[in-house]
Structure 1
Amino acid sequence: MSDWTEIGDEAALVEILGEPNERARNKERTALTEIDRAWLAASPFCLLSTAAADGTCDVSPKGDPAGGLVHVLDDSTIAIAERPGNRRADGYRNILANPHVGLVFLIPGRGDTLRINGRARLVSAAPFFDALVVKGHRPQLAVVVEIEQVFFHCSKAFLRSRLWEPEAWDPDGVVPRRAVIAAELEPSGKTVAELDEYYGPGYAEGLYEQC
């Protein structure tokens, strides 16, 4: 690392990247518009970023059919459903210590994204849970976010990565399949064959059932 040139202050960062233009600088808002609401209703997937009190971070994916992932409570408050998972709850433990969160909402095929930053709390029961029922299942809990910043982000990252271009996809390329990864990095005593069966077609059948 002796030949690295590290950026150590904001002035050095600005010297490389430059200043944002006026449109980028002023695009953030503090309340949802009808366009924001429509985006949230159409989004089946988001990334939730959190940080613990000591600054260690976590990013967790959240996914549901469009309309079942997020519920708009009012122009400055949203709720995100939690479904059965691995029960690590890293991000939720972070929220209990530090409520600041960042969210990116995606719509498949769209390069632009909706970003929301705010303060979160965990809710175990509320009347609005009825609006987040999917396939007959209510959320285990909800992350309620009080919005401090909301804005759209451009599509350059998606264009560069060709994320939505099927001809660029190679899901079975150099990276081993999920069962092999689990066998090598997440010891459970199960064989690769057993893990292949676990992660096979039946895996999707229990998405809303507690493991």
Structure 2
Amino acid sequence: MRAEYVEITSEDELRALLGEPQPRSVAKERSRLHEMDRRWLAAAPFCLVATAGADGTCDVSPKGDPAGFAHVIDDTTIAIPERPGNRRADGFRNVLANPHVGLLFLIPGRTDTLRVNGRARLLRDAPFFDEMTVKGHRPQLALLVEIEQVFHHCPKAFLRSHLWQHEDWNPDAVPPHPEIIKSVQYTAESLDELREYYGPSYADRLYTAPKP
């Protein structure tokens, strides 16, 4: 630790610096889905899933599908389908060791979010899997989350970042994905091959399992 760093090492220090939360911020926590939560989940096409392994190492994985992809089973249980991906399964391996998960559901253009925390299990099949079929793809597994805490989060972070303000977008600030891959890791494919793989046809393969 650098000598000029001033570290916070206790909750008392933290509270002395930040102060106490507003009563409204504390009271908004619930343990069951409200009808407004259900409406939010029905409109959300994207969420971030945070997990931690038994040793405390963390992972955040993005999940996206058509709006309403989070399947509501009842007021305390939801399920998130898994689609073909890179097979790393970092978050899923964490869940097997530590079931605690945190979910953040986003609706494009909205600056507020829905947070869901709970305990997760991995399912390889269930009757509701048929309802999560997209473009003929029935998920091979799903993350079942038993809700312990749910609440809507304020818009400050999105407002500060101008996340949805198109005039502030700068997607060309960093090179395209194929160039990033080629520069940060070894790949047998050439840059041209990576450009072709991640080209326009990439979107056509979103629900097709990649070759081993």
Partners of 1:15 and 1:202 lie apart in 2 by 54
What do residues 84-132 of structure 1 show as CA deviations (whole Å, max 9, x unaligned)? 0000000000000000000000000000000000000000011101111
Structure-1 separation of matches of 2:80 and 2:188: 35
- Counterparts of 1:187 and 1:42, CA distance in 2: 39
Partner of 1:37: 38
Counterpart in the other structure of 1:3: 4
1:166 and 2:166 aligned? yes
1:105-124 equivalence runs, <5 A? 105-124=105-124
Q: Which amino acid aligns with 2:201?
A: G
Match of 1:57 in 2: 58
In the TM superposition, 1:75-90 aligns within 5 A as 75-90=75-90
1:28 matched to 2:47:
no
- Unaligned residue ranges in structure 2 (runs of 5+): none
Partner of 2:187: 188
2:54 aligns to what SS in structure 1?
coil
Q: Secondary structure at the match of 1:80?
A: strand
Quote how far apart the aligned CAs of 1:191 are: 1.4
Residue aligned with 1:172, SS: helix
1:196 partner amino acid:
R
- Give the ranges of 4+ consecutive aligned residues of structure 1 lying more than 6 Å apart after TM superposition: none
What is the aligned partner in structure 1 of residue 144 from structure 2? 144
Distance 1:55 1:207 in 2: 31
Structure 2: distance between partners of 1:12 and 1:38: 39
Deviation at 1:188, TM superposition (A): 1.5
Partner of 1:197: 196
**How far 1:186 sits from its partner (Å)?**
2.8
CA distance in 1, matches of 2:143, 2:85: 15
Quick one: distance in 1 between partners of 2:129 and 2:42? 15
Q: Does 1:72 align with 2:63?
A: no
Amino acid across the alignment from 2:202: Y
Give the TM-score, by structure 1 length: 0.98
The TM-score with structure 2 as length reference comes to 0.97
Question: Deviations along 1:71-94, whole A, 9 cap, x unmatched?
Answer: 000000000010000000000000
Aligned to 1:104: 104
- In the alignment of these two chains, the number of paired residues is 209
Partner AA of 2:41 in structure 1: L
Counterpart of 1:181, as a letter, is I
CA distance in 1, matches of 2:9, 2:187: 43
Identity rate of aligned residues, in percent?
64
Amino acid at match of 1:166: H
CA–CA distance in 2 between the matches of 1:143 and 1:189?
33
